[in-house]
Amino acid sequence: MTAPLPQHSPRMSVAGNAPSLWQAARALLARDLRLLWRRRGDALQPALFALIVVVLFALALGNDPALQARVAAGVLWVAALLAGLLALDTLFRGDAEDGSLEQWMLAPVPLAWLVAVRTFMHWATTAWPLLLATPFLAELMHLPRAQLPVLMTGLALGTPLLSLIGAVVAALTVGMRRSGILVGLLALPLYVPVLVFGAGSVAASAQGLDPVGALLLLAAGLIVATVLAPLTAAAAIRIAVN
Amino acid sequence: MTDPYASAPPLLAARDLRFARNDEPVFGPLDFAVDAGEALLIRGDNGAGKTTLLRVLAGLLRPEAGRIEIDGHGTDAPARTRALAYLGHLPALKADLGALENLEFLCGLQGRRRGQSSDAAMRIVGLDGYQDALARQLSAGQKKRLSLARIWLSPAPVWLLDEPYANLDLDGIELVNRMVQAHLREGGAALVTTHGAYAAPPVRTRELILERPA
């Protein structure tokens, strides 16, 4: 049944063939894309959910373009935020339950790097479809076209920030059996500033004010989170896996 | 334990290693060394701390006190990852991926020994023909064999095998023994936990017997 073992050169002389950061990242991205494709029904759920929220809002607010235009940015932001929240609990849970996280920790690349790659995938799968659909959804909500670039920039800066904050929360709760409600409760207060500045930038531009300040704050938050969130999440995972 | 090969530092050594969970001592203080070409058989009853010891050595758990040395140098957990390959109770396989896809991912993450192909490793562990089978369709024994293929492909010199014989048929037990033997012949080392019901690999073996703390 089993094949004979071949002879090898001595193992001790084989050194330095640990994967580089890029090789490890590529392996993880390829795996996640494959899994995404195998479970494409589940994977589309967050984006579909956001779509439904926006469309239902547009229908519920009736034929009042002025009112829709006022709330459009807020609705789109909330939809993006909830879509990300929906996929948050699955970010590390599956990998924790089947032992993959243990093997991540034992890989010769920093755990924080793998966490960052995984978080990037979360952002790509939940936010990119929504970002692509935003121009159409904005049209549906009668958002003035002049405000669309501000909304798009805000979402492009804000959604990765939401994913990074969410990764820390997901890592903190990964050791618990059932943490659905806890993830939401922990993430919500951390999400609020992002929402305030994101939706606020569009509101400011609607009033003829300069939205750049709020967008720059989002960008600053994104930079800080890009550096700190993977490290924090990795530390939380190390505590959870034992 | 006196070291007969005192001239070369042992591949893996623990000095005064202790672990406690919530202030309850689990094992220790332990002192042992494993040389290249040697296997350390870790025996003990259920709950004696065999798995915990391997997880501490692997770096998944932080020891309460003591040092873990690789090649005579004290190390922290990230520095040990290059030297250790860990086979645990959880298979780390994604149910929706094929056997070969799972193996390729884990090799991409943890490195691969030069000149080794995943296909050859699948043949060695007796999973030839199952390359495209989804991991969810594999039996527990086949999953174990797939994990053994990962260990075989790992570039690490020290294998930490936690109950490698569990779920395996006689042919599989023989496979583990042959793999350990081949690995040791090439200058590697292996730490194997077992509760003693299986035949140990026919290699130079040291034994560490863990007892439940009183």
pLDDT tens column, B32-86? 999 999 999 998 888 888 999 999 999 999 898 999 998 888 888 778 888 999 9
Q: What strand order describes the sheet that includes B39-44?
A: B84-87, B158-162, B189-194, B39-44, B205-210
Q: Which of A44-48, A79-83, A146-150 has the lowest mean pLDDT?
A: A44-48
Q: What is the pLDDT of residues B140-175, one digit of tens each?
A: 999 999 999 999 999 999 999 999 988 889 899 999
Residue B29 is which amino acid?
Answer: P
pTM confidence score: 0.89
Is the CB of residue A8 less than 8 Å from the CB of residue B182?
Answer: yes
Spatial separation of the C-alpha atoms in residues A90 and A121, rounded to whole Å:
12
CA distance B183 to A31: 29
Query: Is B9 an 8 Å CB contact of chain A?
Result: no
Nearest chain A alpha carbon to B172: A2
What are the structure tokens assigned to A184, written together?
């939401």
**pLDDT band for position A35 (50/70/90)?**
very high
Q: Do A98 and B113 touch (CB under 8 A)?
A: no
Mutate which: A103, A114, A239, A242, vs B, most B CBs within 10 A: A103
Amino acid identity of residue A152, one-letter, is M
Alpha-carbon gap, residue A237 to A153, rounded angstroms = 32
Mutate to test the interface with A, among B105, B117, B150, B181 (most CBs of A within 10 A): B105
Query: How much is the pLDDT for A74?
Result: 92
Nearest chain A alpha carbon to B77: A106
On whether any CB of chain A is under 8 Å from the CB of B170, the answer is no
A177, pLDDT greater than 60 = yes
Domain B1-83+157-206 has CATH 3.40.50.300: yes
Residues of B in contact with A107 (CB under 8 A): 81, 109-110
The boundaries of every CATH 3.40.50.300 domain in chain B are 1-83+157-206
pLDDT for A9 beyond 50: no
Asked if B97 and A31 come within 8 Å (Cβ–Cβ), the reply is yes
pLDDT (0 to 100) of residue B214: 59
Identify the CA nearest to B82 among candidates A14, A13, A110, A18.
A18
pLDDT in the model for residue A168: 95
Q: Is the complex ipTM higher than 0.90?
A: no
pLDDT digits (tens, 9 = 90+) for A76-130: 999 999 988 888 888 998 899 899 999 999 999 999 999 999 999 999 988 998 9
pLDDT of res. A1:
54
Residues 21-60 of B with CB under 8 A from A: 36, 55, 58-60
